[in-house]
Structure 1
């Protein structure tokens, strides 16, 4: 390391062949996978992953792909550093002209300033590098912003090398900080400017460690060094560089000096830096060495950075998949509970049971079941025949309608509440619930759809009875009950798993269904009754499935607002494999 001088970056590394189609294709494939690996779900650590993704995408666009396709383009040296380190003053002094605005107000550097030889203008006037920045020309102004790249052609810069004055890496303006990092990632060479007071600051060393990890070529300028502190500061900085793996990096020391009337440093203090830049630009081998080292380092870093992004992307996909599973499981559980409620006889209690007792004439019938179901069946049949007309079934049908609707609605509402409760406690779900509070309850049309569902199902049961009746419509038993009465009894049989059992131990609810089943068997036969009951159950469950699917679709619609490519992790891994194979 030189005390106040410098040397060209040392050591050639394995070359990169920019004409290798497989390598460029692999990098472009990786770039596409990185672009599509959005991280919209707020998970632990996602902010860091999002920043890393943007930095990776920027470096691919701003440096790796442009450099792969134009290895002979001028070397881009980005001058970066902390606020107040004197970057712009140093750049102006090296160029010998005021090309970048300097001053005491912070932040000073807003737009990026790229100084190049007039003969190299074609390399930078297009969007070959830093395509996201608008180009402008002319002198410094107060209208500059971080989205601009001001181009300055100067004959004082040697052809084959360009200087880029970047914003402060620790600027109080976030856009400036982000741009500084982006520009440093686009550099063939980082020229870090620090001072004798601030050379140990944490932020610059974080970026220098990043440079080490990515194989970026680095040189340093220790600015504003008091004469009596030169040796001490130089030794301490040298030790820090060695610890960070940058012991071979050129270091230039600039004494604390009075600026001339134009705000430039004394020529003697920048002569060594200017000579180094000139010799680097003139030496094609040295220039190519820097470019190839940095490019190879950037390519080497891609696999690890893309793998980390793949893990973050996979976590995003898993989080959304978990939210989707929560919704699917809740409605599947609701559907299963409806089916259980259909089979356990619970619907045949309360109001339904009371209406059934009225339907057959008296509650005494079911308090005397110990006389045998067959005897009850005969007495019911005889009573109906004696009436000589179809028995009114409206109240019993209404009671069944109410019971079925309550069963379907209550489990649907429970599913919506369950999903909301779980989403609020899962990564990503909290934000979705905050954005869509209506998801904590069923849809506004849910109750009306439940009522429509039950009416439609009852109509289907009537059609089943009509279709099965055939020539039996004129039989005495059929006429005794009528289509509605038989349909109601079929519904009763549908809602119990105890149908077919006999004996005094059968409960009242089960007994009512047993009586209904025996009456139906007297009309249609036992096999037909079993088939009819099975069809009726399936028809109701199909309608419940449709209803719950419509409610679950609301959750799917909310999840669809999370723009996420489920194939992104696999695409990243595939692209990493292709890149390794191409290298």
Structure 2
């Protein structure tokens, strides 16, 4: 039996003068397609939205078809047509290809799948059009020669049996193929091999023309019809070969097949019936069995205008499908953007709630309970001390000065109590916010993906110390502000008479003592003493200055609390930011529109 011997070949750039004579550069369209390719290639759709898996695959297929077919065809509109022979398992594709060539160049196998390198047969005059990586650039080129019956390929070279290699393309020059037309034998579209099915889809996407082979028994199978529907949607020229037809039922089957083709928008597709015939000793069909199809292909090869129309029609359909795919990808990207914004809002909501809770605790007197209240009482003596003070700012100042001179002021203990109380409130609410954010994310498929392998809610062991450091820094800022405000000669004398630390503590207490939330004795002790403390500060610095100092101290504190919460929220947001930058929906919509506009002439 004769077959095809494969030998590795060296790729050459396509510079055939006959082919290039009528090339149309279509530079604006090429630029639009290249720009769209880059956008689609960069679109990963990483979030688990409903449309992401399908559109991710769609974008990848579109990029592959741009490389394999669309860009090569736009750059070389007059290149030879590529007719891909496709069909179901056992439909007789290889036997048909042998019959069209006129001698065995490939063979079918009894074992499924019959995995082999795809074989592209072309006229010798068209060799340069396929030797270079113009179409199907990701498939390596291997040159084939016909092996005579009984001849053994040289050592180290594969023969014509099944070869587990779907990453290369065998090129075979044969004068029986019309010039201007090439035939490519593709794997089964319903192969049990995933690689074979993927390769078949890739080759069909690179075709100008489909020769779709089916049989009298299997012409209604679902898998090929799905591909035929896709072909109708892309406006691909299709010729259907109805193989192994009994003469007695040929008319009835062909009529039914024509009806199905009409229903799917493929009414113009010619049907070529190949009668059930015995094969000769080399596995060949009688020449008459495929004569109508061979004549049709020869007429097509001889008619440059007809070839040009088929190429333009198929290319136009592929470009329109590309624009549609780009639009669908843009919609998928928009869904990703909405999901990302939703996840960010969930984090912001959780930590904003924590910020409000912490700030409220600094405004409603919550921090003046417990240890802080006890230390503040130690600082000022007892409630009786303030009740015994006579009205008048001067007397308040004098009695406070005498008090401080008479006893060591335990203001440091008040500072420490404020630090401890505020630290507990911040850490508790931060932990609650992180748990809330994680819970909200785990309710979302995309959030689950982002949290995979992460314990985002866990606070780091040193977080409480980070909070304490931030509070101490705030207290230092308050003390510095007291020092700066007391820089004047008269003010300095008043401040020095009381002590900077004492004034700073009084200001801190004043910041926290708006009395909301305090009841009974707490109001009298904490709230009342805070009011008197404010009066004392006003005696030293003046009312306007104290109000500004209080506002500044509160703003400083809330800013630091906000920073601590942002630090923990960033753990969640970083997982979104790590996805990187991607094309926007607006960019993809614009690319689709540009492709449509520039392709109107096709």
**TM-score, structure 2 length as denominator?**
0.86
Partners of 1:292 and 1:474 in 2: CA distance: 90
Structure 1 counterpart SS, 2:465: helix
Structure 1 position 302, deviation (Å): 3.3
Structure 2 counterpart SS, 1:462: helix
Instruction: Provide the residue aligned with 2:467 in structure 1.
Output: 450
Instruction: Provide the residue aligned with 2:483 in structure 1.
Output: 466
Structure 2 counterpart SS, 1:83: coil
Structure 1 residues 188 and 378: alpha-carbon distance in aligned structure 2, compared to 1, 3 A threshold: same
Structure 1 position 353, deviation (Å): 0.9
Structure 1 residues 410 and 110: alpha-carbon distance in aligned structure 2, compared to 1, 3 A threshold: farther
Q: How does 1:414-433 map to 2 (within 5 A)?
A: 414-433=432-451
Contact 1:36 1:568 in 2 (8 A): no
Contact 2:390 2:396 in 1 (8 A): no
Partners of 2:415 and 2:560 in 1: CA distance: 18
Structure 1 residues 200 and 524: alpha-carbon distance in aligned structure 2, compared to 1, 3 A threshold: same
1:262 aligns with 2:282: yes
Measured against aligned partners, the alpha-carbon deviations of 1:204-237 in whole angstroms (never above 9, x if no partner) come to 1111111111111001111222343323322211
1:578 aligns with 2:594: yes
Instruction: Provide the residue aligned with 1:7 in structure 2.
Output: none
Instruction: Provide the residue aligned with 1:68 in structure 2.
Output: 74
Partners of 1:412 and 1:40 in 2: CA distance: 29
Instruction: Provide the residue aligned with 1:532 in structure 2.
Output: 549
Structure 2 counterpart SS, 1:403: helix
Instruction: Provide the residue aligned with 2:426 in structure 1.
Output: 408
Structure 2 counterpart SS, 1:258: coil
Structure 2 counterpart SS, 1:228: coil
Structure 1 position 77, deviation (Å): 0.3
Partners of 1:546 and 1:497 in 2: CA distance: 24
1:293 aligns with 2:313: yes
1:518 aligns with 2:518: no
Partners of 1:58 and 1:578 in 2: CA distance: 20
Structure 1 residues 45 and 577: alpha-carbon distance in aligned structure 2, compared to 1, 3 A threshold: closer
Instruction: Provide the residue aligned with 1:204 in structure 2.
Output: 224
Contact 1:80 1:169 in 2 (8 A): yes
**TM-score, structure 1 length as denominator?**
0.88
Contact 1:381 1:519 in 2 (8 A): no
Corresponding residue to 1:49 among 51, 55, 72:
55
Structure 1 residues 143 and 400: alpha-carbon distance in aligned structure 2, compared to 1, 3 A threshold: same
Structure 1 counterpart SS, 2:455: helix
Corresponding residue to 1:102 among 102, 108, 117:
108
Measured against aligned partners, the alpha-carbon deviations of 1:279-311 in whole angstroms (never above 9, x if no partner) come to 211222222222122122223333323222211
Partners of 1:26 and 1:122 in 2: CA distance: 27
Instruction: Provide the residue aligned with 2:301 in structure 1.
Output: 281
Structure 1 residues 573 and 534: alpha-carbon distance in aligned structure 2, compared to 1, 3 A threshold: same
Structure 1 position 101, deviation (Å): 4.5
Partners of 1:451 and 1:85 in 2: CA distance: 77
1:176 aligns with 2:193: no
Measured against aligned partners, the alpha-carbon deviations of 1:302-335 in whole angstroms (never above 9, x if no partner) come to 3323222211121122222222232234334433
Partners of 1:170 and 1:380 in 2: CA distance: 95
Structure 1 residues 372 and 137: alpha-carbon distance in aligned structure 2, compared to 1, 3 A threshold: farther
Corresponding residue to 2:566 among 549, 558, 571:
549
Partners of 2:136 and 2:223 in 1: CA distance: 23
Structure 1 position 202, deviation (Å): 1.2
Structure 1 residues 344 and 91: alpha-carbon distance in aligned structure 2, compared to 1, 3 A threshold: same
Structure 2 counterpart SS, 1:91: helix
Structure 1 position 181, deviation (Å): 1.6
Instruction: Provide the residue aligned with 2:409 in structure 1.
Output: 391
Q: How does 1:115-126 map to 2 (within 5 A)?
A: 115-126=121-132
Structure 1 position 389, deviation (Å): 4.9
Structure 1 position 406, deviation (Å): 1.8
Q: Please say which of residues 506-515 and 46-55 is displaced more in the overlay.
A: 506-515
Q: How does 1:214-293 map to 2 (within 5 A)?
A: 214-293=234-313
Structure 1 counterpart SS, 2:82: strand
Structure 2 counterpart SS, 1:169: coil
Instruction: Provide the residue aligned with 2:3 in structure 1.
Output: none
Structure 1 counterpart SS, 2:179: coil
Structure 1 position 356, deviation (Å): 0.9
Structure 1 residues 263 and 147: alpha-carbon distance in aligned structure 2, compared to 1, 3 A threshold: same
Partners of 1:175 and 1:489 in 2: CA distance: 77
Partners of 1:472 and 1:150 in 2: CA distance: 98
Contact 1:88 1:109 in 2 (8 A): no
Instruction: Provide the residue aligned with 2:9 in structure 1.
Output: none
Instruction: Provide the residue aligned with 1:5 in structure 2.
Output: none
Instruction: Provide the residue aligned with 1:339 in structure 2.
Output: 359
1:148 aligns with 2:148: no
Partners of 1:134 and 1:512 in 2: CA distance: 87
Partners of 1:373 and 1:190 in 2: CA distance: 104
Corresponding residue to 1:492 among 494, 509, 518:
509
Instruction: Provide the residue aligned with 1:362 in structure 2.
Output: 382
Structure 1 position 242, deviation (Å): 0.9
Instruction: Provide the residue aligned with 2:118 in structure 1.
Output: 112
